[in-house]
Amino acid sequence: MKNKEYLREDYAKTLKFFSKGKDSPEIPGNSEAIEKYRKLSGLKETDFFYDAFLKAKSTIPEKEKKPVAGYFCNTVPEELLLACGVHPVRLCSADSHCAECGEEAIPGDICPMVKAACGDFFHDFNRMMDLLIIPATCDGRVKLAEILSPVAKDIYFIDIPRNTDYLENVNIWEKEYTKFFDYLKSKFKVKPARREILDACVQTNERTRMYRKIYEARAKKPGIMNAFDYFIMANSSFFLSPAEWTEKASLLYREISGREQEPGRKKILLAGSPVVFPNFKILDILGDAGCCVSADVVCSAYGRLYDPVEIDEETESGIIRALSLKYVAPSICPCFVGIDKLINTVLDSVERYGLDGVIYYNIRLCQVFEMASGVLRSVLKDRDIPFLFLKTDFSKEDTGQLKTRVEAFMEMLG
Amino acid sequence: MEIYAGIDIGSVTTKCVILQGKSIIGKALVKTGIDTEKCANDVLDMAAGDAGIKVEEIQRMVSTGYGRRIFRRADRIITEISAAAAGGYILCGEKATLIIDVGGQDTKVIEVNGKGEVLDFLMNDKCAAGTGRFLEIMSHVFETDIQGFSQLAIGSESPVAINSTCSVFAESEVVSLIASSARKEDIAAGLFRSIASRVAGMVRQFRRYELTVFCGGGAKSQALKGFIEKAIERPLIVLQEPQFVVAYGAACLAR
């Protein structure tokens, strides 16, 4: 049973792209990319994460043996899905092949990540998911609910207000999340006990604890784990269960803890648009220029994994409030009001880890990210923190010019 | 005295400057062809000839520009941003705060501190809008070269408004303007003004632009200089032979 049709059936029928799947189990070029980055790794324990990426979509259904729900962005509380016995998969895609497929349904100058998210639905995996959850973050995501309505088995839309001020809006978040939780309970016919929600919070908090250890280690000792490994590890939390991810990440943490830092390397903070495999173009360029991404504040790594659930009151409503504090209140996504939060987060990281500069990566056509960059630039300049703005899409044609900018930035840092 | 060379392999032209101590003893410029490495070698030979020295006498060579990696004889490779900053700063008597470089493929605005070190920089987007290439394409539409095109623009009293900054769309806009019998001078001036406003937009993002140096091939155009000055409400200093500033900066960094 569908929660709601977002597009009338006779309108939906006209969308040819979605009438037939392309059934391709693999995205062309992805396994080559995995092997390329695996070779650069030099770490033993990263193998698991690279392998996980290779077989992610083909193994999840049988491995997890439970309903699967896909979602976009960073504001869907995974804990509520886990408590209902549902396996959550974050579907944010940055695949240029998927983006091209998506153009059949979303023409024109639209954010490539939105197009890729749409194009990803030619996969059987995405189509057979029991539920697709779309939060009201950016305009592109909101429209996806309607465009994907004909192909997704069921869609749930979480309406989050743009104002992320806790005191003003916590009641609205609690209401939205409670409504969502009620929907999950009725859809999957479960009545999770309070204990089960708490257990789910423990699992994601364990994941956060382990992630923070790795984050700190990388920020303090540049070069102990390259940016490709780091983002593969962080991105794989999109589809691995929190428990499995934490177990494997702890092995990785043990391995990198024994490593010595590479002396004399400049440490960079990466901010801005999400870095999601396979679009590691920006990491390739930074790596080629000898730039060491020591820390990040992007939503595909830091933004997703850094904040814990902090429960004051162990009632269902108390837990749900705590979840909204984890997911919405600290969000630095420029879709929301709260540019101060972005600036403070960047300044804190630079100061705490003694970073040498900030690179702000902007996926072309993400207007809010670009708008936020001007204010950030001005504040950082005022504090003599070197700042570089890079705007690009998934294509390769501007690699030369981007390299020149990054190399000049590195020369500037001395 | 020791001899150094700077080679700037740009998208349109390749330049070489040879220094002995602090003075320029030779320079050369060629069009960048298909075989970029050959161009770089040729321009080095020509500059050495101009200086009356043998290439072997050069102690150190620095290459820069978009083709900087192709020249394998270089002792050091730097970006054109660092080179433009060094060149502009030293040539203007170490007083520059901002350097504008309008090249064939890129337009850069670079902020330098009191020691000539780069503090910050901006570069144009990946397309040709606001670059020398744009001017070149437009001058072809007017069946002239960039200098002739610049002269044409200076003769205008009321530049037309050009909306497209994409060179492909601007070309079709210009063709329809010509068909609507607008004055050639006014169309040319409109084009220069549209580039100048893009450059000025970049300049305004910097707070310090008391002493702004203008270099690169674009600086040879009086019309472009005039429109940028009008847009930023500041005079620009154009160095002699502005196309060589980056190569000169590279040679200085070889010292």
DSSP string, B193-231: HHHHHHHHHHHTTSS--SSEEEESGGGG-HHHHHHHHHH
Peptide bond into A107 cis (omega under 30): no
Helix axis angle, A194-220 to A316-327, nearest 10° = 30
- pLDDT averaged over chain A? 91
Predicted confidence at residue B168, as pLDDT, reads: 72
Q: Give A 321-360 residues with CB within 8 A of chain B.
A: none
Residues with Cβ within 8 Å of residue A113, at least 6 apart in sequence: A92, A93, A94, A99, A140, A273, A274, A276, A363, A366
Assigned token pair, A36: 């390329």
| Radius of gyration of the CA atoms of chain B, in A | 18
A140 interfaces chain B, CB cutoff of 8 Å: no
- Position A70 confidence tier, pLDDT thresholds 50, 70, 90: very high
Predicted confidence at residue B13, as pLDDT, reads: 93
Averaged pLDDT, A70-83: 96
CA A212/CA A338 separation, integer angstroms = 24
Residues with Cβ within 8 Å of residue B255, at least 6 apart in sequence: B2, B4, B19, B60
Assigned token pair, A106: 């979303």
Bridge partners of B64, per DSSP, are B8
The answer to whether the Cβ–Cβ distance between A412 and B78 falls below 8 Å is: no
Q: What is the pLDDT of residues A7-17, one digit of tens each?
A: 888 888 887 66
Report whether A360 contacts A371 (CB < 8 A).
no
Predicted confidence at residue A26, as pLDDT, reads: 67
B118 interfaces chain A, CB cutoff of 8 Å: yes
Can you list the domains of chain B with their CATH numbers?
Answer: 3-82+245-254 (3.30.420.40), 94-238 (3.30.420.40)
Burial class of B103 by CB neighbour count within 10 A (0 to 12, 13 to 18, 19+)? buried
The answer to whether the Cβ–Cβ distance between B126 and A398 falls below 8 Å is: yes
Sign, Cα dihedral of A117, A122, A126, A132: positive
Predicted confidence at residue B172, as pLDDT, reads: 82
Give the residue with greater pLDDT, A145 vs A210: A210
Hey, where are the domains in chain A? 9-413
Assigned token pair, B28: 């050369």
pTM, to two decimals: 0.91
What Å distances lie between residue A161 and A170, A204, A207, B36, CA to CA?
10, 24, 28, 55
Q: In chain A, which residues have their Cβ closer than 8 Å to the Cβ of B126?
A: 392, 397-398, 401
Residue B152 CA to its chain's centroid (Å): 21
Predicted confidence at residue B76, as pLDDT, reads: 96
Among the listed ranges A101-105, A323-327, B30-34, B114-118, which one has the minimum average pLDDT value?
A: A101-105
The answer to whether the Cβ–Cβ distance between A404 and B81 falls below 8 Å is: yes
Report whether B174 contacts B134 (CB < 8 A).
no
Q: In chain A, which residues have their Cβ closer than 8 Å to the Cβ of B78?
A: 411
The answer to whether the Cβ–Cβ distance between B82 and A412 falls below 8 Å is: yes
Q: What is the pLDDT of residues B96-139, one digit of tens each?
A: 899 999 988 889 999 999 888 999 999 987 666 678 888 888 88
Report whether B58 contacts B3 (CB < 8 A).
yes
Predicted confidence at residue B227, as pLDDT, reads: 94
Residue A25 has pLDDT above 80, yes or no: no
Which among A230, A248, A242, A199 is positioned nearest to A296, based on CA atoms?
A230
Strand spans (E) along B113-204: 118-123
Residues with Cβ within 8 Å of residue A410, at least 6 apart in sequence: A266, A289, A290, A291
Report whether A120 contacts A33 (CB < 8 A).
no
Which among B73, B134, B62 is positioned nearest to B103, based on CA atoms?
B134
Count of A–B CB contacts within 8 Å?
43
Q: What is the pLDDT of residues A139-190, one digit of tens each?
A: 999 998 888 888 889 999 999 999 888 888 999 999 999 999 999 999 999 9
Helices of type H across B52-145 = 80-91, 132-141
What Å distances lie between residue B140 and B128, B136, B149, CA to CA?
15, 6, 9
Predicted confidence at residue A65, as pLDDT, reads: 83
B123 interfaces chain A, CB cutoff of 8 Å: yes
Mutate to test the interface with A, among B81, B99, B253 (most CBs of A within 10 A): B81
Residue A201 has pLDDT above 80, yes or no: yes
Predicted confidence at residue A215, as pLDDT, reads: 97
Minimum Cα–Cα distance from B125: chain A residue: A391
The DSSP H or E segment spanning A296 is strand A292-296
Averaged pLDDT, A232-244: 96
B81 interfaces chain A, CB cutoff of 8 Å: yes
Q: What is the pLDDT of residues B152-184, one digit of tens each?
A: 999 998 998 887 767 677 788 888 888 888 899
Q: State the residue for tokens 């009620």.
A: A182
Query: How many other C-beta atoms lie within 10 A of the C-beta of residue B141?
Result: 17
Averaged pLDDT, A358-366: 94
What CA dihedral angle connects A112, A117, A118 and A124, to 10 degrees? 140
Mutate to test the interface with B, among A383, A398, A401, A413 (most CBs of B within 10 A): A401
- Residue B59: strand, helix, or coil: coil
Among the listed ranges A8-12, A180-184, A315-319, A325-329, which one has the minimum average pLDDT value?
A: A8-12
The share of chain A scoring above pLDDT 90, in percent, equals 71
Bridge partners of B213, per DSSP, are B99, B237
B167 interfaces chain A, CB cutoff of 8 Å: no
Burial class of A264 by CB neighbour count within 10 A (0 to 12, 13 to 18, 19+)? exposed
Predicted confidence at residue B182, as pLDDT, reads: 86
- pLDDT averaged over chain B? 91
Predicted confidence at residue A18, as pLDDT, reads: 58
A387 interfaces chain B, CB cutoff of 8 Å: yes
Q: In chain B, which residues have their Cβ closer than 8 Å to the Cβ of A404?
A: 66, 79-81, 106, 123
Residue A278 has pLDDT above 70, yes or no: yes
